[in-house]
Amino acid sequence: MNEEALGWVIRTRDPEFADWEAFTLWLEADADHAPAYDALMAADADLAEIIPAEPVAIATPANDAGERGWKPMRWLAGGAIAAALVGAVSVGMMNRPDIYTVATRPGETRTIALDDGTRVELNGGTTMRFDRRDARFAALDSGEAAFTVRHDAQNPFRVTVGDAVFEDAGTVFNIVHSGQATRIGVSEGKVIYNPKAEAIALPAGRALTNDENGLRVMDIAPDAVASWRQGRLTYANAPVTQIGGDIARSLGVKLDATPGAGAMRFTGTIRLDRDPARFFGQAAPLMGLSAVRQGDGWLLKEGDGPPR
Distances in whole angstroms, Cα of residue 93 to Cα of each of 34, 87, 96, 121, 245: 11, 10, 5, 26, 34
Helix (H, G, I), strand (E, B) or coil at 251: helix
Asked whether residue 128 is assigned to any structural domain, the reply reads: yes
Q: pLDDT tens digit string along 36-47?
A: 777 776 664 444
Q: Which pLDDT value is given to residue 76?
A: 33
Of 224, 250, 270, the position where a domain reaches its end is: 224
Same domain? 75 vs 6: yes
Which residues are CB-contacts of 159 (< 8 A; sequence separation ≥ 6)? 138, 139, 140, 147, 165, 166, 168, 175
Q: What is the pLDDT of residues 182-212, one digit of tens each?
A: 999 999 999 999 998 889 999 999 999 999 8
**Is there a single domain that holds both residue 90 and residue 104?**
no
Task: Tell me if 250 sits within 8 A of 123, measured CB to CB.
Answer: yes
User: What is residue 207's predicted lDDT score, i.e. its pLDDT?
Assistant: 96
Strands (E), 29-92: none
Domain residues for 188?
99-224
Model confidence band, residue 241 (pLDDT cutoffs 50, 70, 90): very high
Q: Under a CB-based contact definition with an 8 Å cutoff, are residues 12 and 103 in contact?
A: yes
More confident residue, 60 or 302: 302
Q: Are residues 259 and 173 part of one domain?
A: no
145 assigned to some structural domain:
yes
Q: For 59-69, what is each residue's pLDDT tens digit? A: 333 344 444 33
DSSP 283: H
| Residue 187 covered by a domain | yes
Domain-located, residue 123: yes
Q: Looking at the 3D structure of the chain, how many domains does it have?
A: 3
The CATH number of the domain holding residue 293 is 3.55.50.30
pLDDT at residue 69, rounded to an integer? 38
User: Could you tell me if 84 and 103 lie in one domain?
Assistant: no
Quick check: is 127 in a domain? yes
Residue at a domain's end among 54, 79, 95? 95
Collect all residues with Cβ–Cβ distance below 8 Å to 183 and sequence separation of at least 6: 175, 176, 207, 208, 209, 210, 211
CATH of the domain at 114: 2.60.120.1440
Task: Determine, yes or no, domain membership for 308.
Answer: no
Q: Both 182 and 289 in a single domain?
A: no
In a shared domain, residues 107 and 214: yes
User: Among residues 36, 69, 95, which one ends one of the domains?
Assistant: 95
Determine the straight-line distance between the first and last CA of the chain, rounded to whole angstroms: 51
Q: 183 and 240 share a domain?
A: no
Average pLDDT, the chain: 81
Q: Is 307 a member of any domain? A: no
| 264-278 residue pLDDT tens | 999 999 999 999 999
- Same domain, residue pair 83 and 161: no
Average pLDDT of the residues in 130-138 = 91
Q: Is residue 70 scored above 70 in pLDDT?
A: no
Are 146 and 258 members of one domain? no
- Comparing 141 with 17, the larger pLDDT belongs to 141
177-190 per-position pLDDT tens digit: 998 899 999 999 99
Distance between alpha carbon 182 and the CA centroid of its chain, in Å?
Answer: 9
Q: What is the pLDDT of residues 215-230, one digit of tens each?
A: 999 999 999 999 999 9
